[in-house]
Structure formats: C-alpha cells, structure tokens
Structure 1
Amino acid sequence: MSVYSFEVKPLGKPSYRLDEYKGKVLLIVNTASECGFAPQLEDLEQLYQDCKNEGFIVLGFPCNQFKHQEPLKNEEIAEYCSMKYGVTFPLHEKIDVKGEHMHPLYRYLVEETGNKKIKWNYTKFLIGRDGEVAERYGSMTNPEKMRDKIVQLLEQ
C-alpha cells in the first residue's frame, strides 16, 4: 500500500485517486486559515512554484479539529488562501486528521510514520516518487527547511 491507494476530494472538483501523482514528490499538509502557522501557506506556495516543474506537488487538506481554526466553508477556503497567501497548489475539502472520522489517507500516514497522532495544524508529510512516506515534519518546521530533502527526492 502507498498514498496512491487513496481517494481525495479537491475543492470544487470531482474526487480522484492519488495515483494521478505517481512518480511525483508530494507534500501533504493539514491546513487551517486562522492558525498562527497559516503564513506557512506562502512558503509552501514558494516551494511549489520553485519545484513543480521537476515533479513536486503540495496538497493542502483543511481541517477544523484544532481549536476550530478553519471556520471557512469549503467553497470559501480556496478563495481566501489564494487572496491572502497566493496559494495555487491543490486544496481539498475539509477532512478529519484524527479521531473516529479520521480520513483514511491520514490514518495511513500516521501509521507509516509510527506516530499515531497529528498534534496540530500544518503537520507535513513528504512523499517520495515511489508513493512512500519519506519524512514527517511538525507544525513548527518552516517549509523552507524541507527544501534540501525535497530536492534530494526530486533527483532520485
């Protein structure tokens, strides 16, 4: 099993399986527009712009489970993130990243990293071209600090 086994729902578009990204390097992030870490969206977008032509994709998954810091409706999230932070990378419908209704993708991600909890917004999972989890980063990790690892995975 790999991340390619899972289906996700982008904002305003039909669901798709992540196998559409086979051979790409992915960064999967749970986002929240009112979180103190939301400015990381700009840094995530910069990484995306710098590396997308080499096969890098950022996938944002809004979540309202941490102090209700994603109050926007699905249809408002993309517009807000685009206007405030310049986000063009794919954003998806709100999901649960913990608890009884945890999205299957996130269940897989936490099991693969051996750390069963998502502690906060902006937890990041870096996925290699093989669809396997290469690295997990906490909320405090600025996306720019992941650049070397991303480049390394892109060169493989």
Structure 2
Amino acid sequence: MMPSDIIGLYGRSHMSLLRRDVMGLIAGVVAAPGFIISAGAQSRANAYGFSFDQPGGRRLALSAYRGRPILIVNTATQCGFAGQFATLQQLWQRYSGRGLMLIAVPSNDFGGQEPLEGQAIAEAALQNYGATYAFAEKCSVRGSNAHPFYRWAAAQRPAETPSWNFHKYLVGRDGELVGGFSSGTDPIGPQLVRAIGQELQAT
C-alpha cells in the first residue's frame, strides 16, 4: 500500500500512530518470541475443534460455521491500524450474506494497544467505526499463553503468524487454514477479497 493510500484510508491524524506501528511490526518480525504448540492443538484435524469465549459468558464455536469461510482478526482499539475496524465492516457487509463469518479477537500482545476489557471493546469499535461483527473476549494470540486456535494456526502456518495487530487468518469452507495475511493487508483489497471469493465459490 502506498503512503498516499494509507493517508486516504485512515486520515492524517492516524499517521503518527501508523509510523509507530510499522516500527513495531519490524521489531515483532525480528524479535517475536517463539510459539510453543501443545500436542493437543497440533492434533486438531481442523479449525472446527476450537471456540472463542465472548463477553457475557457466551461461546463462539467455529464448528457452528462449518461449510463457511471464517476470517479471524486480532484487533486493538488503540492501534494505528484501527481504521481497519471500518474496512472490516465493509467486508462483512459485502460478504456476510454470501456466507462469510468474521470474528474480531481483541489482544493486548502488541504494543499494549488494547486497554479496554470485555464488552467495552466491541462498543468502542461500534461507536467509532460502525463494527457490527462478532467479538471474542480479549486473549493472547502468540506465545505459550496464546489461545488454542492461534497455537494450532501457528503450527499449520509457522511463516504466517501474527507479528502485530490486525493480522488476519482465513479458514476455508472445509475448516482448513487457507493462510495468514499481514496487518497491512487491506481488508477490502484484492489479495484478501480474492481469497475469500475463492472460498465462497468452492463446492
């Protein structure tokens, strides 16, 4: 993405945060701690063996979306990439009717940029960016304390793990991990849209 595109997408007021986040991305790639994958997570046949807790005690089981592509994004409300809450909403509005499921997974792992807790995170994303898709409880997405889905995904795609906020995992209609997309990947850009479209057309 060109600098002019970023300015147009997020506004000049976010540019200082974006510069800090880009530096964090570089540091994360160089110095991110190794993932410790449990034998149980490795043995899961596909993503349908996992679920996410939600605020209020609800549980979001990925098996409930069997046969549908699922996009899972680790988010942070104070991140310079937080404008992606809005573009994720655009993606959700465009493809949810065709079967896409979108889950935001708040995390404080990168830069301490998610100070909120529980339902307050989803409320902030709704008020500031119009986000109406599903939100999980805040959790870790890297290291030995990572959510089991993220440990499984790291075992499946070790070169495509999160190194900053707004990393995107796409799970295919068969429950297999299609791939990971970096924080800078535009949610409505051609790379991710093409991958989602291929899954929506799969039989």
TM norm structure 1: 0.95
Partner of 2:50: 6
Counterpart among 52, 66, 74 of residue 96 in structure 2: 52
CA distance in 1, matches of 2:160, 2:87: 26
User: Deviation at 1:16?
Assistant: 3.6
**Sequence identity, in percent?**
37
Task: Name 1:144's counterpart in structure 2.
Answer: 188
By how many angstroms is 1:74 displaced? 1.1
Structure 2: 5+ residue runs without aligned partners?
1-44
Does the 8 Å contact 2:75/2:105 carry over to 1? yes
User: In the alignment, what sits opposite 1:30?
Assistant: 74
Question: What amino acid maps onto 1:92 in structure 2?
Answer: A
Query: Which one-letter code corresponds to 2:69 in the other structure?
Result: V
Segments of structure 1 that go 5 or more residues without pairing to the other structure are none
Q: What is the root-mean-square deviation in Å for CA atoms of aligned residues?
A: 1.2
SS at 1:135's partner residue? strand
| Superposed CA offset, 1:78-130 (max 9, x none) | 11010001111100100101122111000011111122742111110111100
Query: TM-score with structure 2 length normalisation?
Result: 0.74
Listed one character per residue, the Cα deviations across residues 43-83 of structure 1 (whole Å, up to 9, x for unaligned) are 11111111011100111000011111000111211110100
Runs of 4+ in 1 over 2 A off after TM superposition: 114-118
Does structure 1 residue 107 correspond to structure 2 residue 151? yes
User: CA separation in 1, counterparts of 2:95 and 2:175?
Assistant: 18
1:69 paired to 2:100: no
Counterpart of 2:145, as a letter, is: H
Distance apart, 1:153 and its partner CA? 0.9
Q: Per the alignment, in what secondary structure is the counterpart of residue 27 of structure 1? A: strand
Residue identity matched to 2:198? Q
Whether 1:85 aligns to 2:129 is: yes
Greater Cα offset, 81-90 or 10-19: 10-19
Partner of 2:201: 155
* Higher RCO (CA < 8 A, seq sep 6+): 1
Residue pair 1:126, 1:134 contacting (<8 A) in 2 also: yes
Structure 1 Cα separation of the partners of residues 107 and 150 of structure 2: 12
